[in-house]
Structure 1
């Protein structure tokens, strides 16, 4: 057994040294607030509703900022919120590609933006980091039906503006949870569909009691058999929020989380023959009995619970100054269970045994691989606005502690093992401290300057069988700058430069001595807006040094394997249009054209320098469109289309390892019936996914030597829902 590398005393020393500045600033804000809280507040007419947005204002942007972004609000989410995960609901945003292991948008889902996978998309919830500290991935399956508690979200493409958590190398996504309600309300929502998919949601709000306090909450249950065999999901979640509203004060306490059990489907479909003839085959849990019969273990499942706690204090001191101070804690614990054949005793610390004169040193067994982790810290922001100046000082200090251990719960031959023995017992420790300052300054009525600089300190220590002993510290300084020119009320143009740097993740350390990545991102864009037309045109050049690109392979827990490449780039054009054709018709097309290349790429298998090759999982064409029609009041019909160009599963331009392009169409209809009886409104929702029954693959894995795995997605399938509001 490995010993624990990081002692509690060492951890405390590292934490106190790295986090000193943000913690002192947080304490200063707290003391300043306590001292002045009882003083007379400014008597302005500002509504505290605006303070809700302070939770994310330090990291969000608007059309005057020289950065490419898209917003998705509660109303837009509600049209298709029938149980599928947040990445699937974002599928029609520019430069976005989504995939799902189970094939129908429930369970494990993933997102890529500009070809960058989920480990490179920074995600925050109310300004607090959500990406897993070690893998840097985002697991929405741990927060099922979170869309039902989302007020709005903003996707910033490229490096974006400085935020908390891991550096954004493809995009950053910040989510704002439900605002408070002035009046009491209730909501019951149920939906059913293909593959025995169902969602049940109950929400409530007390409204503002004495114009000061509100309590709101949600309970949800989502279940599905999945399109892929045995790729079932049983997902439960909750959301509870208490709010205090003062004249210039907003205090929120939140508790939310979920518990999930999903049958594993992360390996994909194992060969092209099965892709043609048995698209739903799932290799997970497969084994052979003593007679050579193929069987499947019935509990090859992932089991995990994650609980989040947040406390936010927003204060508007006067018409110029506002602050936000937040504290958070996340507890996660769970395991995935596997049936394994012919495992070597030595890999589990077991001794060979003698049985009937025969030495036995292999066994079939069932194992559980556990994670038990804690994540906690603080974030803060100070905002000053006056005439030409908008200044933000923000940051955070966060710590992660993770235990990794494995147990054998059954073995054909148990050797000397005892119940609850751990065949490995590892620990990891990560600290993340950042401080940033942002300035928007109006030089004239037409010219606006943007400046942003961030300092980030990261410490990572681990002692794992997979990682080896790790003790790394990183110091990153990430400057950003840009300028916006407003030609008139309809047109503005912008240019920006941003630098980003980020540390390797835990899986990268499994494969050697990874280097941190560096990115220089240049953006040039034009925004046109009038009453019925909104057009965004953005070009980007992203220059990488030591980019950790996906190799196409997965490790033994289904996580993507990455490797450093020397120099690489992404060069593209994004166009996003919203056109109100009439009172009844609206069309919103978007497309991205891009070139994504490695320079002087060396094939690890042959050590051959292949020169310029295409970066894996980076389609050169991505397109989407929403055509919406309102034939009568309270009815909306939408036709949603998505095109994703062909993409390689590796970095060597192998034709055998290329996913073909696909064009998928969905049909969505909603009808809201207003009522004066018990219910304020009754909403009927219908969704036909892939109504042209396209057989397509959205993801894959390439292990070399022709061993290619595919992730087929469902053909035509249905979801229908009924929501009662009262």
Structure 2
């Protein structure tokens, strides 16, 4: 009998072992297809639970045959239950639909694109932002995205940085934070130096290329960037990150969150300090910031207060490096005065409210207030005292009419308003409609003061030599509709009406009276279609119209020696066609994405530099009737079991101006304009628009917790002006970075991560930005070009240590 039992056990036990299975899967956002880390997965049949990892993955090992129920929950998303039969269903993909009202992101979602809007966009998750964040400005965290080119005045990504998408600079990229406009109302620019380390408080962001969907603020004329700050964290947390790197770069950041208190209240905060000496001589940065949010989350409503602020002091490196010094002194900075600095502080306050009005109808709204003030200080040589309202100094028979002096140019402004969105979804889920909009007001003072002069004469302390005030009211209302005609075919419509009332009163820094008013009214229609070819495969197309008013300098710099109205700048119009294909797939342990997109951006009255000057010598932008951008964007990603991931994107584009006229001024011996040479081009390249841009990443995880990635970026040749001249260009460049991260999860804390980023691994000498101007002289047939460049840092590193509790 004993022998029989042993034999039976020897037969049955291996059979039982063979019957054990591992149930694994991935949880994703149904709208964006992004993995959801931290979702709770309960296996009810086995009475066990787990949380999804960084890639949204989970697994339950050693399960016998049988039927199980998976219950998946994630804050801000609808709960889902899935029945699983083992062994047939060992791999499962779960899509959770956002439940916007739990986190109150109604205004944010109203201005974002989805898989059903037929537009071109890229989503960036919190995990991806964290991986890339070593303290550099936000543009550098987006460098691997399609059609993106970034640059840094100081050369190392800290301080003043810039970003171009499809050749369009930041003044043509609409930026919102939680649905609130961030672009400066007058210049249209966004200065990320005023929001240092904001990336540490971002939940996710979406970049739409082209006109995109209707949003708040200045019209998107090349792209839009929709940023959402920290969402709802279920568990309490505390984090600290310290980083050190080349050029005496330091980053210190502390974050905390209360988790859900009484299942209703949350508090999140952050303090950051970033400093760097910069790669360019004296191009130092001293940046400080904070973020604080407190929210109440009820069953049908949410109230949340968000405030963040940044203060920056950067030594000016705006002038760049003259071309003749690039080879011999590429870190040259022409500013030598010890306090040639830019100083600015910007405080943001937002109050968000959302409410379920009906089971399928919800309302979101926000009030916002932004306070900005600051100045940049300059040492100026041999200035005319009369230009500063200072009388000449008379010493006996000598009259002194010029003096060295130190001046400050100030901005002191207020920006406030409200945004709203009303969203409806029908019972069948076929129709989604949104009514949204915003009313915003800008009130800004521009003034200059002389704080020291070698010959002060009758000047007062803080001698004010110019002052003007600008008022701008921006109102928009839009309606959006997504409708699923069939199971596979969906259509999208979007119509926005926007008005601008802009006035300036006073004198500008060149002593010209710039008092004037301008009003604009725009209608911006958009339409799109999507078609699901198969599961995971979608084709789309859209057509959109965008209009944008001129910026402040187009008004203040316009010539005053022409007849009234003759030189008024016109609004710009963009007609944008997008069409593409998306593939999202999973096969056992392999995940893959493919995106292919073609675009045509047809501009009417685009404002560009032509070489023309106004009556005091300032460069003018002129409306060009006909110009366009056309291109193909290809992107792909493949991930093998979270061990190897390869991603790549490339853009091929053609960026042209038709019937362009360049103006070259000819000066006499006293530097008076004697003549203007006009050169006509039937078709020429748009400046700063490379024909080829690509980004590639290979990341491996040879052992659990350790990741190594090679990042490779290529940017084609760029022209400094619109003449396509080889004498005025930025050479093509290729640059590689190395990123290493090692994560531990000891018992006494949630996580410890040690990371290193080696920028410009192969020590390339390259420039990413620049500018030029040209002139000619009487009796000399030579053309003189003055090219200035912004060299980027050679090989450098950043080392980071982060701890999470």
TM-score by length of 1: 0.90
Distance 2:106 2:610 in 1: 40
User: Would you say the 8 A contact 1:124–1:130 is kept in 2?
Assistant: yes
Aligned equivalents of 1:443, 1:230: Cα separation in 2:
61
Match of 1:438 in 2: 480
Aligned with residue 77 of structure 1, among 129, 145, 160:
129
SS at match of 1:630: strand
**773, 778, 795: which is aligned to 1:703?**
773
- 1:323-722 map, 5 Å: 323-386=363-426, 387-463=429-505, 464-465=507-508, 468-512=514-558, 513-531=568-586, 532-550=591-609, 562-605=621-664, 606-677=677-748, 679-704=749-774, 705-722=784-801
Equivalent residues of 2:102, 2:299 under 8 A apart:
no
C-alpha distance in 1, partners of 2:585/2:389?
69
Which 5+ residue runs of structure 2 have no aligned equivalent? 1-77, 80-97, 559-567, 665-676, 775-783
Offset, 1:560: 9.2
Which of 239, 244, 262 is matched with 1:192 structurally?
Answer: 244
- Find the aligned partners of 2:477 and 2:325 in 1 and give their Cα distance: 51
- The CA deviation string for residues 412-457 of structure 1, in whole angstroms up to 9 with x for no partner, is 0011101133100110011100000000111111111110000000
Q: Is the 8 A contact 2:101 2:300 kept in 1?
A: no
In the superposition, relative to structure 1, how do residues 315 and 498 fare at CA in structure 2: closer, same or farther (>3 Å)? same
Q: How far is the alpha carbon of 1:690 from its aligned partner? A: 0.6
CA distance in 1, matches of 2:248, 2:724: 40
Corresponding residue for 1:10? none
Q: Which moved further from structure 2: 321-330 or 607-616?
A: 607-616
> Relative contact order, CA 8 A, sep 6+: which one is greater?
1
- SS for the counterpart of 1:122 is strand
CA contact (8 A) 1:553 1:701 kept: no
Q: Which has the larger radius of gyration?
A: 2
User: 1:292 corresponds to which residue?
Assistant: none
Inter-partner Cα distance in structure 2 for 1:564 and 1:175? 31
State the 1:161 CA deviation.
Answer: 0.2
Cα distance in 2 between the residues matched to 1:119 and 1:711: 19
CA contact (8 A) 1:250 1:313 kept: yes
Match of 1:27 in 2: none
Find the counterpart in structure 2 of residue 279 from structure 1.
330
Closer/same/farther in 2, CA of residues 550 and 50 from structure 1, 3 Å limit = farther
Q: Secondary structure at the residue paired with 1:163?
A: coil
Which residue of the partner structure matches residue 129 of structure 1? 181
CA distance in 2, matches of 1:385, 1:246: 21
Q: Deviations over 1:375-418 (max 9, x none)?
A: 00000000101221010100000000000111111000011101
The structure 1 segments of at least 4 consecutive aligned residues displaced by more than 6 Å after TM superposition are 552-555
Instruction: Mark the CA change 1:591 to 1:192 in structure 2 (over 3 Å): closer, same or farther.
Output: same
Q: How far 1:607 sits from its partner (Å)?
A: 2.2
Give, in whole Å, the separation in 2 of the partners of 1:701 and 1:509.
22
| Distance across 2 between alignment mates of 1:48 and 1:456 | 26
Q: Is the 8 A contact 1:48 1:245 kept in 2?
A: no
Once the two structures are superposed, residues 559-581 of structure 1 have per-residue CA deviations (whole angstroms, 9 ceiling, x without a partner) of: 99643212100010001111124
Q: Is the 8 A contact 1:155 1:174 kept in 2?
A: yes
**Contact preservation (8 Å) 1:321, 1:382:** yes
Q: Distance in 2 between matches of 1:554 and 1:426?
A: 22
Q: Distance in 2 between matches of 1:554 and 1:216?
A: 50
For 2:642 and 2:267, locate their aligned partners in 1 and report how far apart those are by CA, in whole Å.
38
Contact 2:103/2:232 (<8 A) preserved: no
Match of 1:211, SS? coil
Look up the match of 1:139: 191
SS in 1 for 2:247: helix
SS of the residue 1:603 aligns to: strand
> Is the contact between residue 554 and residue 701 of structure 1 (CA under 8 Å) also seen in structure 2?
no
Higher strand share: 2
Alpha-carbon separation, structure 2, partners of 1:591 and 1:88: 18
CA contact (8 A) 2:304 2:352 kept: yes
- Show CA shifts across 1:91-111 (max 9, x none): 010001111100000000111
CA contact (8 A) 1:441 1:448 kept: yes
**Secondary structure at 2:663 match in 1:** coil
Residue deviations 1:65-106, cap 9 Å, x none? 211111111111111211101001000100011111000000
Alpha-carbon shift at residue 553 of structure 1 (Å): 10
SS in structure 1 of the partner of residue 199 of structure 2: helix
Q: Are the counterparts in 1 of residues 103 and 231 from structure 2 also a CA contact under 8 Å?
A: no
Distance 1:401 1:221 in 2: 29
Contact conserved, 2:390 with 2:458, CA < 8 A, in 1? Answer: yes
Q: CA–CA distance in 2 between the matches of 1:63 and 1:561?
A: 41
TM-score (norm 2): 0.81
- 50-59 vs 368-377, which deviates more? 50-59
Counterparts in 2 of 1:161 and 1:536: CA distance versus 1, 3 Å = same
Cα distance in 1 between the residues matched to 2:789 and 2:456: 36
Counterpart in the other structure of 1:293: none
Q: Say how many residue pairs are matched.
A: 667
CA RMSD of aligned residues (A): 1.7
What is the CA deviation profile of residues 288-340 of structure 1, one whole-angstrom value per residue up to 9, with x for unaligned ones?
Answer: xxxxxxxx210000000100000001223343111111000000000000000
After superposition, the Cα gap between the structure-2 partners of 1:527 and 1:47, relative to the gap in structure 1 and judged at 3 Å, is closer
